[in-house]
Amino acid sequence: MRSRNWTLAAYAACALFAVFALAPLLWMIFSSLKPYEELYNFPPTFGISSLGLHYYEKVLLSSPFPQFLANSLIVSIVSTLISVLFAAMAGWSLARARFRGQWLILNTVLLAYLFPQALIVLPLFTAIAKIGLANTYLGLILAYVTFTFPFSTWMLTAYFAKVPIEIEEAGRMDGASNLTIFCRLVLPLAAPGIVTVAIFSFINAWNEFLYGLVILGGGEKRTLPVGLYNFVGGEFAQWGEMMAATSLTMLPTLLLFLFIQRRLVGGLTAGAVKS
Amino acid sequence: MFETHITRRGLVGGAATLAAASTLPAPFVRAQAQRRLVFWHSYSQKERSDAMRQIADRFEKANPGVKVDIEIVPWPAFPQKWPAAMAAGTLPDVTILLAENAVPMALAGALNPMDDVVKALGGAEAFKGDIARTTGLFRGQHVSVPHYVHNRLLVYRKDRLAEAGMQPPVTWDDALKVAIATTKAPDHFGWIPKLAKGDTGGGFLLWMMARSANGSFFDKDGKVSFDSAPVKDATAFIVELARKAGGPGVTDYKINDNFSLVNSGKTSLAEDSAAIVAGAAKDAPAVAEQLDATFMPRRKRVGNLLGGISVALPKGKNPADGKEFARFLFAEENYTPFLLTIPLFMFPSLKRAEGPSFFDNPTIKRFRNVVDVTLKGLEDTSLAGMEHGLNPYAGPVMNSYAVEDMFQRILLRNEPIDQAVGTTAKQIEKVVGDVRTRFDRG
Amino acid sequence: MSALAAKADPHQPARAPGRRLVAWLDERLAILFLIPGLACLSAVILYPVAYNAVVGFTNASLMFPGWRFVGTANFEATLADPLFWRATLNTLVWTACSVAGQLLLGLVAALALEQVTVGRTTLRLALIVPWAFPSIVMAFAWRYMLDPLYGVLNFLLMQVGLIDAPQQWLGSPDLAMPTVIVMNIWFGFPFMMVAIVAGLQTIPQELYEAADIDGAGAWQKFWYVTLPALWQVIATVVILRTIWVFNNFDFVFLTTGGGPIDATTTLPVYAYNAGWQQYDLGRMAAVALVMMVILGFILAVYFRLLRLQKKTGEA
């Protein structure tokens, strides 16, 4: 039974968390709307009369934003789909299959994280170039899948372990193949976990800079972070432009999250009926 | 019952379609099968990147069959991008780089010599002062050619000086007095040195001041001379400046913070290139109105610091066209217009470009004194730690942030200056020693 | 062939050979399912791992072509450097505090969100925002807010009377580490939250109903139903986050550069400086390998704790 006090406390906590989480973003957006002269005032100005959208105009008009967006979407969506698919397969396999060495495999995939990514650009790019994927979308996608697959596999193994084995056994009784059981019975039940790793994979690919630059380069195939780094990686930080560019970059991530969440809520109600 | 939106068919089908689409080569890759020229630059601002694309277009027109692919590599990412490209065999044919970055590239065997290009441009004599040699000559070969240059100045606020009844400073003592007199904490400070870790602001400033006192970090053979009177003198000066007129943020700020510090009026004096004035003219016109510049304050002489942004020819797949393109960048119709895309940001490395077409630009005219001080300084200047010519020690020494660490120990832990300089000299000896063991063997 | 047929599901008598192959494959689906992911991983990751393992014992450099084996010289130099030990200590503090903070906030936020009915979607979206920040922007945004001269945080804290004068959040040796840890918690708690929310949704409702029947209070339900059910998810995110935070580089590098002095120099920053700033690839690889050993040790402790927990949990 949910007591009223608990609910109140929950609202209070959520409000606090929201302030903590949003404050930097809000302050950034607010600052990006200010005229330059007011950016460095102390005490800071809080007036809204002088706000304007000039930096957003500049970013949208002065950089090939749509092209960066398209490149980023291709790389992020494909790498997310592949990573989630492969991880779901591997995760289920590891959670269910009774063979020796599961634990060993789980630990081995962590090899991908043993070295900070900034330290292995050189050999990693060499490996990608050796298999002929330098300067291709597929090369970057492969790198991103590699970065997210171990994480996703671990997460999904944990979630799949929670799916009652009886459901699968019931399916087997009905004569369904393992593949059917996986696709029809298991995947839907693990939807919350799948959504989690999908978001993780997407954000990882969407925000990554260094490998985007090294593998796809700074030309026509630039992804958004590489393209937008121009506003901060130059001789000086173009604060207004940077913020405007950032909000524009973050928008798809947040939209995706909103979208997935809606679907997730729907899927969950369907799942909740199961019992 | 088990209805879901993540269906297998949707997931697999979507992935397959997108994966297939992503492996297709983009049309532009196919078109350039023949003479593809890869050009990297770091001119991220729209004005400059547009100018580079236009020059490339003109080059394509003048050389039918050549296709110039431009990649923009942000400055901070360049040191990682080239080794990766070299390891994978994807170096560009032409690149823009910071002159000091050509040294490791040349040693690693990533660069083709540019003596032909220098000769075609009129020899080292065609360049201002001695900069063709000081920025590009390494082990008897030109490894890079300066595309444009700038020099560190002391930028000051005319209004603040007038208010304090002071003249633009000439000596260290003047500078200290002016800095203290123009400090009005917490609103603004006299001169905020930028001594953050992970940035070379402290190393550059100390090197300039040590030069000014006739000292240096190491000699031309790499013998470390850091633990010396001039360096201690310069350290003491900067520490006093930081304590009395630097405000609370000196260990926080990086060189690039100068733009916001000057534009916001937080600092009355700043060591920077003329670009800082260009930035103010663009973002804070009211501040720019009050800006002027003089030479860096001197002890025995002016310690100039050169900023050299150069062209180099990495070992790409199309060296012949690369060479042509490098020359083309300096062609009359390309060069001065490029320098003027952001006036005051870039100064000509070629003497012949110092003509009316450069000086008649309204912004150049408006800040003519800043321009003149820069051009005068360029006659006797060098890259940080490179006063004896390009060497492999300066990069690792500056990038070790040993100097910034020293200032922070003095300012935050009150370590005595003599002791701090001694400790840092040992660290620098270690860095230089590590390089020497490899370098001396050839 | 007959052996295979015998192995096939008795409910599905073998028919055409094609079918039989499918059935044969389906039997081994668990193994087959592992192949694509592991193949990707080995194509990309094996070489870098092997490369580091070899290069750590050489004098390979970005600046000088050619290399030779130097035995354990890189490791000796690393272990003899006092800064390395300082960086190790910093990394442990940074990792432990960040992960603990992220987990605590993530857990509380997830539980709070579950109680909320009105505006849940909006709140969830709000709480996820930090995660969507690219690291370079995050560094700039925080540096801007924390600036000692014009930062808004100093202003707000002075307004409410928590501090008397502007503080140097990132530029003072005492404050820098706590500050970057708070920033990292800010960045990382949404991930924990999302993972835990997903975990909460897999807990069967009957368990709570049963607890209600037994007259359990909110605390008891949390302690005896929620937490045990979440255990595996929490253990997983903690392990993975630990690795991630331990190896995180850009966050610290972009905000403090490892300073002031050595206050926030973590091992990745230390390794990066050796390799990319000093051109010493051998040293960098050696530090990376030492980091791997430390991390391996931490993970071993985790796994041991997990196993203990499992046993006591089952008992």
pLDDT of residue C214: 87
CA angle B235, B240, B241 (to 5 degrees): 100
CA angle C290, C296, C301 (to 5 degrees): 135
Asked if the Cβ–Cβ distance from C141 to A24 is below 8 Å, we say yes
Q: How far apart are CA A218 and CA B285, in angstroms?
A: 33
Between residues 167 and 226 of chain A, which touch chain C (CB distance below 8 Å)?
Answer: 175, 177-179, 182, 189-190, 192-193, 195-196, 199-200, 203, 207, 209, 225
Report which DSSP code applies to C33.
Answer: T
Please compute the mean of the pLDDT values over residues B360-370 and round it to a whole number: 96
- A102 Rama sector, left if φ>0, alpha if ψ -120 to 50, beta otherwise: alpha
Query: Which residue among B73, B88, B266 sits closest to A126, beta carbon to beta carbon?
Result: B88
Q: What is the pLDDT of residues C199-234, one digit of tens each?
A: 888 788 888 888 888 888 888 888 888 888 888 889
What is the pairing mode between strands B66-72 and B291-294? unpaired
Structure token digits, residue C165: 């004068």
Residues 6+ apart with CB under 8 A from B133: B124, B389
pLDDT of residue A125: 92
At B7, the pLDDT band (50, 70, 90 cuts) reads very low
Q: Do A177 and C23 form a contact (C-beta atoms < 8 A)? A: yes
pLDDT of residue B25: 46
Q: Of A236, A31, A53, nearest to C144 (Cα)? A: A31
Please compute the mean of the pLDDT values over residues C303-311 and round it to a whole number: 73
Say if residue B11's pLDDT is above 70. no
CATH architecture of B153-303+400-439: 3-Layer(aba) Sandwich (3.40)
Q: What ipTM was reported for this prediction? A: 0.86
Residues 6+ apart with CB under 8 A from A14: C109, C112, C113, C116, C123, C127
Q: What is the pLDDT of residues C168-211, one digit of tens each?
A: 999 899 999 999 999 999 999 999 998 898 888 878 888 888 88
pLDDT of residue C179: 96
At C25, the pLDDT band (50, 70, 90 cuts) reads confident
Structure token digits, residue A120: 């292995």
pLDDT of residue B96: 97
- Residue A98, classified by CB atoms within 10 Å of its CB into exposed (0-12), middle (13-18) or buried (19+), is exposed
Asked if the Cβ–Cβ distance from B404 to C277 is below 8 Å, we say no
CA angle A231, A235, A240 (to 5 degrees): 35
Q: Is there a common fold for B31-149+306-374 and B153-303+400-439?
A: yes
pLDDT of residue C145: 92
Q: Do C232 and A158 form a contact (C-beta atoms < 8 A)? A: yes
Please compute the mean of the pLDDT values over residues A194-221 and round it to a whole number: 88
Say if residue B190's pLDDT is above 80. yes
pLDDT of residue A4: 79
**CA distance, residue A5 to nearest chain C CA (Å):** 11
Of 1.10.10.60, 3.40.190.10, 3.40.50.1970, 1.10.1740.10, the CATH number of B31-149+306-374 is: 3.40.190.10
**CA distance, residue B331 to nearest chain C CA (Å):** 32
Cα separation values, A243 from B7, B220, C238, C284, C297, Å: 37, 45, 32, 34, 41
Asked if the Cβ–Cβ distance from A207 to C134 is below 8 Å, we say yes
- Kindly state whether C278 is in contact with chain A, defined as any CB-CB distance less than 8 angstroms: no
Asked if the Cβ–Cβ distance from A114 to C195 is below 8 Å, we say no
Say if residue B442's pLDDT is above 60. no
Collapsing DSSP to helix, strand or coil, A194 comes out as: helix
Q: Do A190 and A159 form a contact (C-beta atoms < 8 A)? A: yes
Q: Do B416 and B166 form a contact (C-beta atoms < 8 A)? A: no
- Residue A211, classified by CB atoms within 10 Å of its CB into exposed (0-12), middle (13-18) or buried (19+), is buried
Q: Which of B418-422, B435-439, C276-280 has the highest mean pLDDT?
A: B418-422
Q: How far apart are CA B140 and CA A206, in angstroms?
A: 46
CA angle A131, A133, A135 (to 5 degrees): 150
Q: How many alpha carbons fall within 13 Å on the CB side of residue B133?
A: 13
Say if residue C10's pLDDT is above 50. no
Residue showing tokens 């009355």 = B268
Say if residue A269's pLDDT is above 50. no
Asked if the Cβ–Cβ distance from B252 to C148 is below 8 Å, we say yes
Q: How far apart are CA C23 and CA C13, in angstroms?
A: 10
pLDDT of residue B441: 63
How many C-beta atoms surround the C-beta of residue B46 within 10 A?
Answer: 16
Asked if the Cβ–Cβ distance from C259 to B198 is below 8 Å, we say yes
Q: Do B141 and B210 form a contact (C-beta atoms < 8 A)? A: no
pLDDT of residue B340: 96
pLDDT of residue C115: 85
Asked if the Cβ–Cβ distance from B186 to C62 is below 8 Å, we say no
Using the CB atoms, write b or e for B6-34: b if 16+ within 10 Å: beeeebeeebeebbeebeeeeeebeeeee
**Strand partners for B41:** B72
Cα separation values, B194 from B14, B203, B253, B407, Å: 51, 10, 5, 10
Structure token digits, residue C44: 């990309």
Residue of A14, A125, A203 to mutate when probing chain C, most C C-beta within 10 A: A14
Say if residue C8's pLDDT is above 90. no
What is the pairing mode between strands B153-157 and B189-191? unpaired
Structure token digits, residue A197: 């790793």
Residues 6+ apart with CB under 8 A from A217: A135, B71
Q: Where are the domains of chain B?
A: 31-149+306-374, 153-303+400-439
Q: Which amino acid is at B141?
A: Q
Average of per-residue pLDDT values in chain B: 91
Q: How far apart are CA B228 and CA B215, in angstroms?
A: 8
Residue showing tokens 């922070």 = B408
C230, containing H or E segment: helix C227-247
Query: For residue B293, which phi and psi values (nearest 5 degrees)?
Result: -145, 155
pLDDT of residue A181: 87
pLDDT of residue B168: 96
Helix boundaries (H) for A52-112? 54-62, 65-96, 102-109
Q: What is the pLDDT of residues A70-118, one digit of tens each?
A: 999 999 999 999 999 999 999 998 887 666 777 788 888 887 888 888 8
A239, containing H or E segment: helix A239-272
Query: Which residue among C23, C116, C198 sits closest to A193, beta carbon to beta carbon?
Result: C198
Say if residue C294's pLDDT is above 60. yes
Question: What is the set of domains in chain A, with CATH numbers?
Answer: 1-52 (no CATH), 54-272 (1.10.3720.10)
Q: Of A95, A203, A207, nearest to A153 (Cα)? A: A95
Q: What is the pLDDT of residues B384-403, one digit of tens each?
A: 999 999 999 999 999 999 99
Structure token digits, residue A129: 């170039």
Average of per-residue pLDDT values in chain C: 87
**Strand partners for B306:** B151
pLDDT of residue C262: 93
**CA distance, residue C128 to nearest chain A CA (Å):** 8
Q: Which long-range contacts (CB under 8 A, 24 or more apart) does A174-180 make?
A: A175/C9, A175/C11, A175/C12, A177/C22, A177/C23, A177/C26, A178/C26, A178/C27, A178/C29, A178/C30, A179/C26, A179/C29
Please compute the mean of the pLDDT values over residues A168-188 and round it to a whole number: 85
Cβ-Cβ contacts under 8 Å, B152 against chain A: none
Alpha-carbon radius of gyration of chain C? 26
Q: What is the pLDDT of residues C32-50, one digit of tens each?
A: 888 899 888 888 888 888 9
CA diameter of chain B: 87
Q: Do B395 and B204 form a contact (C-beta atoms < 8 A)? A: no
How many residues are given for chain B? 442
Please compute the mean of the pLDDT values over residues C62-84 and round it to a whole number: 93
Report which DSSP code applies to A45.
Answer: P
- Residue C147, classified by CB atoms within 10 Å of its CB into exposed (0-12), middle (13-18) or buried (19+), is buried
pLDDT of residue B223: 93
Q: What is the pTM of this model?
A: 0.90
Cβ-Cβ contacts under 8 Å, B75 against chain A: 233-235
Q: Do B131 and B146 form a contact (C-beta atoms < 8 A)? A: yes
Average of per-residue pLDDT values in chain A: 83
As a three-state string, the secondary structure of chain B is: CCCCCCCHHHHHHHHHHHHHHHHCCCHHHHHCCCEEEEEEECCCCHHHHHHHHHHHHHHHHHCCCEEEEEEECCHHHHHHHHHHHHHHCCCCCEEEEEHHHHHHHHHCCCEECCHHHHHHCCCHHHECCCHHHHHHEECCEECCEEEEEEECEEEEEHHHHHHHCCCCCCEHHHHHHHHHHCCECCCEEEECCCCCCCCCHHHHHHHHHHHHCCCCCECCCCCECCCCHHHHHHHHHHHHHHHHHCCCCCCCCCHHHHHHHHHCCCEEEEEECCHHHHHHHHHCHHHHCCEEEECCCECCCCCCEEEEEEEEEECCCCHHHHHHHHHHHCCHHHHHHHHCCCCCCCEECEHHHCCHHHHCCHHHHHCHHHHHHHHHHCCCCECCCCCCCCCCCHHHHHHCCHHHHHHHHHHHHCCCHHHHHHHHHHHHHHHHHHHHHHHCCC
Q: Of A128, A155, A150, A145, nearest to A214 (Cα)? A: A128
- Kindly state whether A101 is in contact with chain C, defined as any CB-CB distance less than 8 angstroms: no
Question: What is the set of domains in chain C, with CATH numbers?
Answer: 2-32 (no CATH), 72-314 (1.10.3720.10)
Alpha-carbon radius of gyration of chain A? 23
Structure token digits, residue A252: 């798809």
pLDDT of residue A262: 67
Q: How far apart are CA A185 and CA C3, in angstroms?
A: 30
Sign of CA dihedral B92, C42, A112, A86: positive
